[in-house]
Chain A
Amino acid sequence: MDTTHMTLAELQRLLHARELSAKDLLSEHMMRIDNVDGEVKAFLRTTPQLASQQAAEADRALKAGNAGQLAGIPLAVKDVLCVEGVETTAGSQILRGFKPPYTGTAVRRLFEAGAVMVGVTNCDEFAMGSSTENSGYFPTHNPWDLTRVPGGSSGGSASAVAAGEAVVSVGTDTGGSIRQPAALCGVVGMKPTYGRVSRYGLIAFASSLDQIGPLARSVEDAAILLEAMAGHDPLDATSSDRPNDVRRDFEAGVKGMRLGLPREYYEVDGIEPGVKAAIDKALEALRRAGAEIVDVTLPHTDYGLAAYYIIAPAECSSNLARFDGVRYGMSDQDAANVTDAYMQTRRKGFGTEVRRRVMLGTYALSSGYYDAYYLKAQKVRTLIKRDFDTAFEKCDAIVSATSPTVAFPIGSKTQDPLAMYLCDVLTLGGNLAGLPGISVPCGLSEGLPVGLQVLAPQWREDVALRVARAYEVASEMKVAVAPL
């Protein structure tokens, strides 16, 4: 029995039946990390001490019969989510050494349900990127082909699950940062509706777009993890008090459902033939399962990337103003005066992509350019949201590829920021409109995983999960741990 290839649901049964101890499960995962992470580099740091404490606690609770539903499950956490006493750096040198004084709500809820944190996963610096190459530490490698990127920004969280180093992981998605790496690493990844999961304790990138979500080896696992994290939190004023009903009708299937296929997504520029073929096959499986595929249109798709690359950098330039070397992280204390100290700290601490976006955002918000850029982008955001509202009048959910391409070679897009930004062309609309979206593996192209994206109306995670689950059943899809 190799526990590093099993699903959360399978392990849950074994743990609760006392056929497997949390301690043994943990040590198998720590051994797996020792064996493969030298090549994959999914983790920035492991947390063996915290993990053994949590595993011991889980075993006690399992024995006593009062264990939470995640008791003993090995979990990896993206380096943007604060965990008390565990170095959390947002993939940036500027936060090297920062140990948060508290644990954010989403992770705290997973801990309370009994999860065992094995380590902190690598990501693009401040979650800005689509390949994890912008990490201030080192790039992560795709477990399916170590010469390729895992996607990003939650590349470490996706590759840890794909490589059997953690059963589930937590990521964040601002423009596709959970769904795109999930697609490229052949795992399931979900971005919930904006407001579904509390962002308290998340190091902010773009506050009106950021959401925390699960990465897992099955749709059910993703649903279990999401349900455990979701729900109102008085510490995040944008978190919703709607019922936590994400697993409603999970197994109801797609018979009689209408799934919208947006022409603009289906025929997006740069979509690889192998990706298109995998999507066609997935659509056929959904049709066989009883869904009707209908044409819909999202006419402002061509403007999504432009609006996103005003709004996200504008918000980030303001959020990242706090990194000045005074309260935490890197600091230049030898500067002649405080202004020089800010400047030198930020020059040494921030990488190229972060600096690029801070400049872009500061420019877009500066007086004289505000109306032409920021306000204009916010108006276009309204139009993009209306496109989705109109489309959802004709269908229950929208289906497309998650990424136009499979995983690309490390280094192939780092010199061309715009080409890198285009990786998110099919996912960022979901963030601009606040929709829940899931990526589920739908086969291989050139030996590399392809992801099917399902977008649903706001607060209808249940619909996205139900469609993804129906696809999983219809296609007999089972997430394969990458051949390492």
Chain B
Amino acid sequence: MLARLDLEPGDEEFYAEQLSGILGHIDRLQQVDTDDIPPTAQVVEIVNQLRDDEPRPGLTQAQVLANAPAAQDGFFRVPSIQEEA
């Protein structure tokens, strides 16, 4: 549900079996002593590249909507968010 994947009947068992195999392999990480080891999120020295907050040209509304499966009045259109009361 969290990943919004909509499993079909039978999928649960299929993935459960494969994922337990993979997680079984991954469990070996617990053998490694990582006390006092900092985590690495990215590996190169570049940090916080900032730029001036100035307006720059971007895509037009028409370009942005060109790939939309459904659009209306300049918006992306989606099915209803709430059920009708």
On A, residues with C-beta under 8 Å from B are 97-99, 101-102, 193-195, 208, 234, 237-240, 300, 302-303, 305-307, 309-310, 317, 321, 324-331, 333-344, 346-347, 350, 355-356, 358-360, 362-363, 366, 372-373, 375-383, 385, 417-418, 421, 432-434, 458
Contacts and interface: CB of A to CB of B under 8 A. Distances in A.
Contacts of A344: 6
B8 A347 contact: yes
Contacts of B40: 378-379, 381-382, 385
Interface in B16-52: 18-19, 21-23, 25-32, 34, 37-44, 46, 49, 51
A385 B66 contact: no
Interface of B: 2-8, 15, 18-19, 21-23, 25-32, 34, 37-44, 46, 49, 51, 59, 63-64, 66-70, 76, 78-83
B67 A305 contact: no
A346 B5 contact: yes
Contacts of B8: 347
A325 B3 contact: no
Given A324-B4, A381-B39, A359 B19 contact: yes
Contact of A333 (B4, B5, B42, B70): B70
Contacts of A102: 59
Nearest to A382: B40
Contacts of B43: 194, 208, 381, 385, 432-434, 458
A238 B44 contact: yes
A195 B47 CA distance: 12
9 contacts: A333-B69, A341-B78, A347-B6, A350-B5, A358-B3, A358-B5, A360-B19, A381-B40, A382-B37
Contacts of A358: 3, 5
Nearest to A302: B28
Nearest to B48: A237
Given A238-B44, A347-B8, A373-B26, A383 B79 contact: no
Nearest to A435: B43
A321 B21 CA distance: 25
Given A101-B66, A239-B46, 8 more contacts: A99-B66, A327-B67, A337-B80, A338-B81, A346-B5, A346-B6, A376-B29, A376-B30
B59 A101 contact: yes
A306 B26 contact: yes
Contacts of A329: 67, 69
Contact of B18 (A97, A324, A325, A417): A417
Contacts of A239: 46
A341 B78 CA distance: 8
Contact of A238 (B6, B34, B42): B42
Contact of B79 (A302, A340, A363): A340
Nearest to B18: A417
B34 A342 contact: no
Contacts of A382: 37-40
B3 to A, nearest CB: 4
A338 B80 contact: yes
Contact of A303 (B3, B7, B19, B28): B28
A448 to B, nearest CB: 27
